[in-house]
Structure 1
Amino acid sequence: MTIQAVIFDIGNVLIEWQPERFYDAKIGIERRRAMFEAVDLHAMNDRVDQGEHFTDTIYTTAEDYPEWRDEIRMWHDHWIEMASPMIDHSVRLMRALRSKGMPVFALTNFGAESFEYAATKYPFLGEFDRRYISGHMKVTKPDPQIYQMVEEDCGIAPGRLLFTDDRLENINAANARGWQTHWFDGATGWGKALKLHGLLSASEVE
């Protein structure tokens, strides 16, 4: 079935997202492990992705755990350092697709405010033809509703959408709706998939 739009996840597809790595560098591995055992920081971040306010959610969590207050606030105050670096090869693939007239969308679990902040640091985030940001949509992958919302908004049949994501549960949910998918494990593999689909040439995926 002919692809009519390519959909990119962002975290660990276009921008690296490794909070543990950030904290290991800032406070050391042992202290980071202790903090992540005491505080479910990923659950905190999920709330932001589901539409809660970026600053309020993190700062309130920090006050709930005074022994980790400063470290938790780093999730907000040093957020752009966690969401880095850009994955250059993936961005080149995105731009190559757009240069050939292929619509390119983003579908990402991302807070509304944090996405707007990221867009000031990563200009390519403004280049998508459509952006589906969970913080605005109030629902996150892999909930089937978010995929349905994409389908209804873009008007493209599920089988004509090609989606890449680094999380298998998100890929499986897209497959269940009939999307074509690629489980992202690096830009090289994604480039090969785009070539196999006939969307880019061998030189364009390098």
Structure 2
Amino acid sequence: MTATPIKAVVFDIGNVLLEWNPEAHYDAKYGEEKRREIFASVDLAAMNERVDRGEDMGELARRLAADHPEWHDEIMTWHEDWLTMCSPAIPHSWRLLRALRGKGIPVFSLSNFGIGTYEIARAEYPVLDEFDQGYVSGHLGVIKPDPRIYEMLEEGSGLSGAELLFTDDRADNIAAAAARGWRTHQFEHPEGWAARLVAEGLLSEEEAA
């Protein structure tokens, strides 16, 4: 039986095209011990999830800081230093995205990302304007790994899971995609992703370098 051809490649953004490591930034700014205390005292991850669902980061940060005045500056760091946390770029992944598009293979994004923060990132990272279709959680109002966000991409693109190859750094996001029949690759480093694209016959080794 002939395998269904891949008709589009889907990229996560954080830790695939751009590094995203708030803990490392807080460690550098405050020290690891204090960072652990901050993160144990204030649920910054929950705040960020609300941003990814479409709420405004500045407003949420100010509200959380007012609720926890003892951590006011540390909470506002998330807002004020957001672009520093969302860095640096992962250049090899950018090259892979562009190589795919150069061969006429559609490339989509599927990312947990806020509305305002995505605009900040777009101004800094031109690759974010190069997707053929973009699926950003803040605009969709649903985040990975909710099955609905994968369904929305299928509906928007007109493609089935078997026609999609998806890379993401998180195992839960990969599992949710695989459950819908998507082909998947858990991203650990761009070299592994490049090898997968070569193995699928989408790029040559030279194109994937």
Structure 2 unaligned segments of length 5 or more: list them: none
Deviation of the 1:158 alpha carbon: 1.4
What amino acid does structure 2 have at the position aligned with 1:11? Answer: G
TM-score, with structure 2 as normaliser: 0.97
Aligned to 1:80: 83
Mapping of 1:26-175 within 5 angstroms? 26-175=29-178
- Can you list the C-alpha shifts for 1:19-62, whole angstroms capped at 9, x where unaligned? 00000111111111110010111111001001111211112111
Aligned to 1:188: 191
Aligned to 2:25: 22
Number of aligned positions between the proteins:
206
- Can you list the C-alpha shifts for 1:46-97, whole angstroms capped at 9, x where unaligned? 0100111121111211111111101111111110000000001111100100
- In the alignment, the residues of structure 1 paired with residue 64 and residue 95 of structure 2 have an alpha-carbon distance, to the nearest angstrom, of 37
What amino acid does structure 1 have at the position aligned with 2:53? Answer: Q
- In the alignment, the residues of structure 2 paired with residue 147 and residue 176 of structure 1 have an alpha-carbon distance, to the nearest angstrom, of 10
Deviation of the 1:165 alpha carbon: 0.2
SS at match of 1:181: strand
4+ long deviations beyond 6 Å: none
SS at match of 2:201: coil
- In the alignment, the residues of structure 1 paired with residue 95 and residue 66 of structure 2 have an alpha-carbon distance, to the nearest angstrom, of 41
Structure 1 unaligned segments of length 5 or more: list them: none
TM-score, with structure 1 as normaliser: 0.99
- Can you list the C-alpha shifts for 1:147-194, whole angstroms capped at 9, x where unaligned? 000000100121000000000000000011111110111100000000
